[in-house]
Chains A and B, each alone.
Chain A
């Protein structure tokens, strides 16, 4: 394997749909480039995308960025790699992005040998792995069983470099992958070409969020060059710069451990990494290591339906109520439970629904972590959240909660009070289905490719009118 020449790639934006700076992309591509890569997903949006099967980003924004990347890739005749398609990277998400790709190919008369890699997991396969003790919990450990697998709306596996390398090796111009490690999108080709895995993976790690690695966030693209000895990373875009501190600090972002990052095939170790300024905007990284792990592990992400939700929004201004808010809300809740069991009787077992009062001004933002609970505000915002097995029941729960919230008495006032300022009429807002993440596990497949399905499609827009 020859790697005397360094390899250079472009990270055009932190996430497909984030808004590529087209001028900066052009400027970066004026230098020889080996590939373009970008992720299109995250769990950070919440469990809804995975559970419901719909993307969390507007289609138009995704199409604009994909179009810029695909046209740039064809113009330079280099591969483009996109992973975690459609936010959650399930099959339905990948297919929704593939449909956008077909439109771009037709509109711009592109020829595109496309590899589509599906990452959604077959439940029967996962149950077999579970039976063989080949699904292991991560920390914090969540329960797992056949019924939890069966009850999931959707489960994806987070792929490593190997399926991407297979696709590139088979001649793909464009790889559209389901759920994928962000760093793997950038590490796949450098690792395949024999560059040191520590540098290849670290190059991916520092590049995957686009210009977030810069001193100040701005509109631009990241250019990263990997050789046998070092990584050089720099931005293109007005006023943007990478500094040793900004690049080192990026190792902290959204990671529990700033030094050790687990990937499917091993662990990226930043403990001996050094960061030096090359010029005003470029940083050199050396010394990063990568250790192979004995077991190849694929992280699983699953979501299950938590129920349907309805909410009421309002506020309280009365200081007598605010100073006893906890006990007052507990009494209101008991009263609601009584009303619900009386009115909905056997349809509403107390364990089948969930009422939460978010008390803005007290501890709605921090919950149990809030240390400042002694200082009472003059006004408290309240969101009542009712979650139940059906939308109809969630709606009725919220409706039945309104009167107790309005009128539940306090001893300081004689006579009937109205303690709750409702924001809306009708007061109840139906939120539809809500999901929860239900897996924090890794699977141990027998091969790195076993959990992922690769399909090739030769898309050709040049023959269409």
Chain B
């Protein structure tokens, strides 16, 4: 099953002009536990998915929010020439297809 079919919301956003953050939120405990325990979402899997250095990826498990979270330094500072997503809102999409077993 794909992550997009289990999560209630997958989103990305700036966390200040220099950081991108990705939130994966769930509607219920069972869905959260299933993804959290699947091992499909890790610093390493995120780094591979986005072609990004693993040591720069931060990963958080937020049990009381039923949410998983990644943060990375922005490849380009918000608004710098070449930046194509001023608010960082469309960077989450590759996460949608992560396979959860």
Contact = CB atoms under 8 A, between A and B. Distances in A.
A354 B81 contact: yes
A415 interface: no
Interface in B1-44: 13-19, 21, 23, 25
Interface string A361-402: 000111111011000000000000101000000000000000
B51 A368 contact: yes
Interface string A224-257: 0000000000000000000011001101111111
A435 B17 CA distance: 13
B71 to A, nearest CB: 4
A356 B93 CA distance: 24
Interface in B51-101: 51-52, 58, 60, 62, 64-67, 69, 71, 73, 75-87, 90-91, 93-94
Contacts of B65: 245, 248-249, 251-252, 258
A274 interface: yes
A182 to B, nearest CB: 12
A259 B60 contact: yes
Contact of A46 (B15, B25, B79): B79
A47 B78 contact: yes
Contact of A258 (B51, B69, B76, B86): B69
Residue of A46, A307, A364, A434 with most chain B CB atoms under a 10 A cut-off: A46
Contacts, number: 122
A437 B66 CA distance: 34
B81 A387 contact: yes
Contacts of A253: 13, 23
Given A252-B21, A259-B60, A368 B66 contact: no
Contact of A437 (B13, B49, B78, B84): B78
Q: How large is the interface on A (under 10, 10 to 19, 20 to 34, 35 or more residues)?
A: 35 or more
A141 B11 CA distance: 26
Contacts of B69: 252, 258
Q: How large is the interface on B (under 10, 10 to 19, 20 to 34, 35 or more residues)?
A: 35 or more
Contact of A43 (B13, B78, B80): B78
A436 B80 contact: yes
A22 B77 CA distance: 38
Given A356-B82, A371-B50, A437 B17 contact: yes
A366 B90 contact: yes
A57 interface: no
A47 B14 CA distance: 13
A255 B91 CA distance: 16
A365 B90 contact: yes
Given A43-B17, A366-B91, A437 B79 contact: yes
A314 B8 CA distance: 37
Given A43-B16, A256-B16, A257-B60, A369 B86 contact: no
B52 to A, nearest CB: 7
A38 to B, nearest CB: 20
Nearest to A299: B16
Residue of B14, B52, B64, B82 with most chain A CB atoms under a 10 A cut-off: B64
Interface in A316-355: 354
Residue of B67, B76, B79, B82 with most chain A CB atoms under a 10 A cut-off: B79
Nearest to A301: B17
Contacts of B82: 356, 367, 385
B21 to A, nearest CB: 6
Contacts of B94: 369, 371-372
Contact of A254 (B13, B62, B85): B13
A249 B81 contact: no
18 contacts: A44-B14, A46-B79, A48-B79, A249-B62, A252-B23, A252-B25, A253-B13, A256-B58, A256-B71, A257-B60, A258-B67, A258-B69, A259-B60, A275-B64, A356-B82, A367-B83, A369-B91, A440-B18
